[in-house]
């Protein structure tokens, strides 16, 4: 709460009769309370994205790294693990409860960033909520029933949680552009590429297909029922197909191709480094502290 400070300064005036008079001057100033940093705990800190998050948080105004949790590299200083010149004096600990209990004593605004696994997300968010902390969750392929259970839990606890299928602002812009284009074209194909094998189709492709399927359109009518493997995997019942390409040396890429009479419209997004997720993560941390419920999708804040 701001405090109002009033100071009275007497001043002296001489009159023509050489008598002195005193007139008080009153000045007012509002003293703002000192701004405290958001304390951030990275759960999954030893992962590539976790280490990038550590660097991003330490460089961001208004927040500070308060804890690093992981089952790997336990006991090592997270600053040194991330290649920083000076140690942060924050060891990696394989005990989320211990870290949260220690930080909660400061009564500061705190956020837990979860990069772990779909099977542990629900318990992690419950623990964070029990200690009065909000959560940012970036864990691909969380089951819908888990999200629904988390939503109900956060609603009852009046605590914020942001579940982000992607933290890439470019990916979100691609999805929004695809939605706009879908009203003007009847044919659409998604092509994704990666350097390494993994879960296909990717979370981004699935999200794009879900967004377009929810619009009530029917795509690719000419070969809607084609089951040829070369035509790609059909996602949903609206005819949207995805093709996955894996070659060493490729960047992670997602492109959406639309076509109409006499034209093809293509939009594409490439990810060359995990650093592209950090602006979205910092935005998510700043926004989640104001929430009292679960929000699905970073796009709600763009």
Give the pLDDT confidence of 21-73 residue by residue, as tens digits: 555 656 555 555 456 799 999 999 999 999 999 999 999 999 999 999 999 99
Would the pLDDT of 74 be above 70?
yes
What tokens does 238 get? 């609206």
Q: State the DSSP code for 59.
A: H
Instruction: For the chain, list the domains and their CATH numbers.
Output: 38-163 (3.40.50.720), 169-272 (3.30.360.10)
What tokens does 267 get? 């939009």
**Which residue reads 């890429």 in tokens?**
253
Cβ-proximal residues to 2 (8 Å cutoff; 6+ apart), any chain: 30, 31, 32, 33
Other CB atoms within 10 A of residue 59 CB: 10
Give the pLDDT confidence of 80-93 residue by residue, as tens digits: 999 999 999 999 99
Helix (H, G, I), strand (E, B) or coil at 276: helix
Q: If you count them, how many residues does the chain have?
A: 302
Mean of pLDDT values over 178-203: 91
Give the pLDDT confidence of 123-141 residue by residue, as tens digits: 999 999 999 999 999 998 8
- Considering Cα of 177, then 270, then 169, then 154, what sign does the dihedral take? positive
Would the pLDDT of 9 be above 70?
no
Query: What's the rounded Cα separation, in Å, for the pair 92 and 90?
Result: 7
Q: Which of 184, 190, 230 is nearest to 210 (CA)?
A: 190
What tokens does 134 get? 């909000």
Asked if residue 259 lies in contact with residue 187, where contact means CB atoms within 8 angstroms, the answer is yes
Would the pLDDT of 147 be above 60?
yes
Alpha carbon distances (Å) from 202 to 21, 188, 225, 261: 82, 17, 23, 30
Mean of pLDDT values over 243-256: 93
Using a 10 angstrom Cβ sphere, with 0-12 exposed, 13-18 middle and 19 or more buried, the burial of residue 69 is buried
106 pLDDT band (50/70/90 cuts)? confident
Question: What is the predicted pLDDT for the residue at 228?
Answer: 82
pTM for this entry: 0.83
Would the pLDDT of 1 be above 60?
no
16 pLDDT band (50/70/90 cuts)? low
What tokens does 260 get? 């109409």
């Amino acid at each position: 709460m701001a405090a109002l400070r009033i100071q009275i300064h007497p001043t002296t005036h001489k009159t023509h009769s050489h008598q002195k008079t005193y007139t008080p001057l009153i000045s007012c100033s509002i003293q703002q309370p000192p701004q405290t940093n958001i304390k951030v705990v990275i759960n999954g800190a030893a992962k590539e994205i976790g280490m990038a998050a550590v660097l991003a948080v330490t460089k961001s105004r208004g927040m500070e790294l308060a804890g690093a949790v992981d089952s790997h590299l336990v006991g090592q200083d997270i600053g040194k693990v991330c290649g920083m010149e000076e140690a942060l004096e924050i060891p990696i600990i394989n005990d989320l409860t211990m870290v949260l209990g220690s930080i909660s004593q400061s009564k500061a605004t705190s956020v837990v960033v979860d990069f772990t696994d779909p099977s542990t997300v629900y318990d992690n968010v419950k623990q964070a909520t029990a200690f009065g902390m909000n959560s940012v969750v970036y864990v691909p392929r969380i089951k819908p029933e888990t999200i629904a259970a988390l939503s109900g839990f956060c609603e009852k606890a009046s605590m914020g949680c942001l579940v982000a299928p992607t933290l890439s602002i470019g990916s979100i812009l691609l999805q929004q552009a695809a939605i706009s284009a879908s009203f003007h074209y009847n044919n659409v194909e998604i092509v994704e590429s990666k350097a390494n094998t993994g879960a296909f189709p990717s979370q981004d492709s699935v999200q794009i297909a879900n967004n377009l399927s929810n619009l009530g359109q029917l795509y690719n009518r000419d070969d809607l029922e084609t089951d040829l493997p070369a035509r790609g995997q059909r996602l949903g019942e609206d005819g949207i197909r995805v093709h996955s390409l894996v070659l060493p040396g490729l960047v992670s890429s997602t492109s959406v191709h639309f076509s109409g009479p006499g034209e093809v419209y293509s939009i594409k997004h490439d990810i060359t480094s995990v650093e592209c997720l950090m602006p979205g993560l910092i935005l998510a941390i700043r926004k989640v502290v104001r929430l009292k419920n679960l929000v699905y999708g970073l796009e709600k804040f763009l």
